[in-house]
Amino acid sequence: MKILLNLNVEALSKKRVVDWGYTENLEAASFNHFEKWVAQGKHEPLKYLSDERKEKRKSLKSVFPKAQSALVFLFDYRAAKNYQENLDPQNKIAAYSIGFEDMDYHYWIKERLIEIATSLEIDHYDISLDVHPVLERDLAYRAGLGWFGKNSMLIHQNIGSYFLIGSLIVHKKLDLTQRHLETDHCGNCRRCIDACPTQAILENERTLDTKKCISTYTIEIFKEASAPTGYPNKSNEVFGCDICQEVCPWVKKNSGENRIDSSWLVEFFNRSQDEIYGEINSLSNREFKTKFKSTSLERLGKKGLLKNLKKANLG
């Protein structure tokens, strides 16, 4: 653990890192599950999962040719779960979107990863954070950080799954010990399966039918989408979906550290849908971009958010 002596626990916690792990195993442990899932078309409509980059997920080397090891960090957003209880249940937005000072986590976590690399004096590395063809849950699994829950989330024994995964892909091996792989702790539980309003969870495969998932409908597909069966009747999600995590017994509240004291996104959505719809509808596309700049909702665009609020395809 020599190298991490430079980075004490308190410093990591200020960066919202709740746990980290190390692996020199560059090959995905579950690529065959991924391949089968794609072959069954369960990734539809997310075409980027089946294009020419599909095979690259087999090994970190094919994405980052200089990779020799990876430091994997879990960025905690449980504070959002605590704070979100103030939110009007009519308009639920994904906890992660308020968990990092209302910022799009790609910006927020990337900065923290660079700070961590600097403090560890790691000069040669790449960052893996959502955009590359990497099975990131699998990478965290290989670093001993959790197991694949039935809802497909990577679950950590002490925290649950309210964290995002960001990694430093290091161009040398470090003097660190790898943890053992985590074992499955779902047991006979099936709360997530029963709670999912659209029956999107593929019970025996620990993954989803993507086209049925509310998260896909409200974050990934905009104009062309029709709502999955079961939504919106039982659901008020207007951006993302946390239902299968809210019911998971492993998802723990945090004990008060890293508190969120304010969130303009929560304030914004904490009123009637008609009021919100009216305000968004009155904005030009450019004004929408300015208003939601650097938040996770920016890329939805005006039309995407209006669609989510009305839960209907606006063409």
> Active-site residues: which are they?
130
Total residues interacting with ligand SF4, rule: CB under 6 A = 23
Does 12 interact with ligand SF4 (rule: CB under 6 A)? no
Residues 120-139 that bind ligand B12 (CB under 6 A): 129-130, 134-138
Task: List C-alpha distances in Å: 155 to 149, 152, 309.
Answer: 6, 9, 30
Residue from 164, 227, 265, 280 in contact with ligand B12 (CB under 6 A): 164
Residues 136-195 that bind ligand SF4 (CB under 6 A): 149-151, 186, 189-192
Site map 210..249 versus ligand SF4, x via CB under 6 A: ---xxx-------------------------x-xx--xxx
List of E strands, the chain: 17-23, 69-76, 92-93, 125-128, 147-148, 154-155, 163-170, 201-202, 207-208, 237-239
Return the CA Rg of the chain: 20
Query: Interacting stretch for ligand B12, rule CB under 6 A, among 84-92, 169-177, 209-217, 258-266?
Result: 209-217
Q: Is 167 helix (H, G, I), strand (E, B) or coil?
A: strand
Residue from 63, 70, 145, 153 in contact with ligand B12 (CB under 6 A): 153
- Burial of 38-56, coded b for 16+ CB within 10 Å and e otherwise, reads beeebbeeeeebeeeebeb
Residue from 18, 63, 200, 276 in contact with ligand SF4 (CB under 6 A): 200
Does 77 interact with ligand B12 (rule: CB under 6 A)? no
Q: Is 208 helix (H, G, I), strand (E, B) or coil?
A: strand
Q: Which is nearer to ligand SF4, 149 or 166 (CB)?
A: 149
Residues 246-265 that bind ligand SF4 (CB under 6 A): 247-250
Tokens read off for 307: 């669609």
Question: Rounded to 5, what percent of the chain is helix, strand, coil?
Answer: 40, 15, 50
Where along the sequence are the contacts to ligand SF4 (CB under 6 A)? 149-151, 186, 189-192, 196, 198, 200-201, 208, 213-215, 241, 243-244, 247-250
